[in-house]
Amino acid sequence: RHVAVRDSHLSDFKEQGADSQAIAGWNGLGPFAILNNTLEGAGENLIFGGADPAIENLVPSDIEVRGNHLRKPLAWKPGEPGHDGSAWTVKNLLELKNARRVLVEGNVLENNWVAAQDGFGILFTVRNQDGRAPWSVVEDVTFRGNVVRHSASGIYVLAHDNNWPSQQVKRVVLRDNLWDDIGGPRWGGGGRLFQVIARSADVTIDHNTARHAGNILTADEGPHGSFVFTNNIAAHNEYGIIGASQTPGLPS
């Protein structure tokens, strides 16, 4: 129920054809403290959710993730010098599927490429995973002061589960982060910086700096209520800020 992982090195967690993680949790209430660790996992380096809690209405809560290094070794990536010949199931660096009151601060998250998913390094994607937890939610999340680098795309916010009933993703703050080397031929994917789908509420993107190959913001299945985008430095690239089936600029 109450877990702290600190000052530790968790590495070489990998699997082919299934997800593998350095740290995963879904059936504990919290609080959880994940501090000053190195975390290596092929599927998700760190995830909360991904299975239905056995305890009704349980949402892992009061989660602190600070000062960690989340990475995937380049020896796992086909085409890289030193590739070990493996074909592990690679997905993302950090994912929240069912979580409340989360602080992710001062971490380095790096090396994520298109493989078993389309390459977003960070996912805040609410999931009622097996259809038995309609209370699943991602809310009150602060992601600040982090470095995300060498990834096919940046962050994907899915505000409602598109498979099973869920609660809404709401009150998410992305502030004071550096996004570096996002997209491009080495990592694959479109280099999308931010993607927000399916009617989120109170998402704030403020004071981020990015070097990325694709869109600044891609949005779909809206409207997204109380959305704030301020004080960021990012390249327009081909489409800038765009809604699905729209053109950039005023139509979007």
pLDDT at 1: 87
Kindly give, in sequence order, each residue whose CB lies less than 8 Å from that of residue 179, ignoring residues fewer than 6 positions away: 148, 149, 154, 193, 208, 209, 210, 211, 212
pLDDT at 251: 87
pLDDT at 165: 98
Which residues in the chain show pLDDT less than 70?
none
pLDDT at 97: 98
pLDDT digits (tens, 9 = 90+) for 96-124: 999 999 999 999 999 999 999 999 999 99
Give me the phi and psi of 75, to 5 degrees please: -65, -20
The burial of 191, by beta-carbon neighbours within 10 Å (0-12 exposed, 13-18 middle, 19 or more buried), is given as: buried
pLDDT at 244: 84
pLDDT digits (tens, 9 = 90+) for 70-94: 999 999 999 999 999 999 999 999 9
**Residue with tokens 């069912």, as numbered in its chain:** 98
**Residue with tokens 């994607």, as numbered in its chain:** 125
3-state helix, strand, coil in the chain (%, to 5): 0, 45, 55
